[in-house]
Amino acid sequence: MSEDRILIGPVAALVASGAAVSGLQVAAFAPANFVGLAECLLAACSGQPELPDLNAAKARVKDTIKGDFGRVLPGVSPTGLLDGKIVGALQVVQSSPLDPQLEAPMVIAMFVHPDYQGKGIAATLLGHAASRLQLGGFDRLAIRVTSETAAEAVTIFQHAGFVDLVPGEQSA
């Protein structure tokens, strides 16, 4: 991918695509989990220059908690735990300050610890978030896709019917 783009699609399709991972506990996004979230984020983003160490990952999580990327919807932003360890997280904001034209909640972060990738954790977290969004009356969800976005994440959204948002449009 050479440039940023936004994918947008139906929440109902993500609800239907959500899988269950044996033993995975799903908890709401909570500031109290910030160190575990930072450790998982750092592991998932290993090698990315903007997150060179745990302090940078902690700063990113703190910025998320402060609302620098939009107001996180805690009940819609699940954290995945296996045996009490944070193995993945998804954070959704009601609206992104980077994309004020969108009239849909946006995924601002989705990450899974590398030891647990490919096991359906991201799909489970997405399904959980989508079911909460649907209960809240939202019918669409968006995600900004960058060159750093894992191909597997893009595939999950595309299989659920997400399409590129055409510049100037507010919905797909």
Kindly list the domain boundaries of the chain, sorted by start residue.
5-164
Total-model pTM: 0.88
Residue-wise pLDDT for 108-165, tens only, equals 999 999 999 989 898 899 999 999 999 999 999 998 887 777 677 788 788 878 888 8
Q: What is the pLDDT of residue 46?
A: 87
**CA distance linking residue 43 with residue 125, whole number of Å:** 18
What per-residue confidence (pLDDT) applies to 116? 94
Q: Which fold has domain 5-164?
A: Aminopeptidase (3.40.630)
Q: Taking a C-beta distance cutoff of 8 angstroms, is the pair 139, 11 a contact? A: yes
Pick from 11, 24, 23: nearest CA to 76: 11
**pLDDT score at 1:** 39
Residue 27: φ, ψ to 5°: -120, 155
Res 48: pLDDT: 85
Query: What is the mean predicted confidence (pLDDT) over 85-104?
Result: 90
Tell me the pLDDT tens digit for each residue of 62-83. 999 999 999 999 889 999 999 9
Q: Supply the mean pLDDT for the chain.
A: 87
How far is residue 96 from each of residues 9, 47, 60, 172, measured CA to CA in Å?
Answer: 16, 26, 16, 17
Contacts of 36 (CB under 8 A, 6+ apart): 85, 86
Q: Tell whether the model's pLDDT for residue 60 goes beyond 90.
A: yes
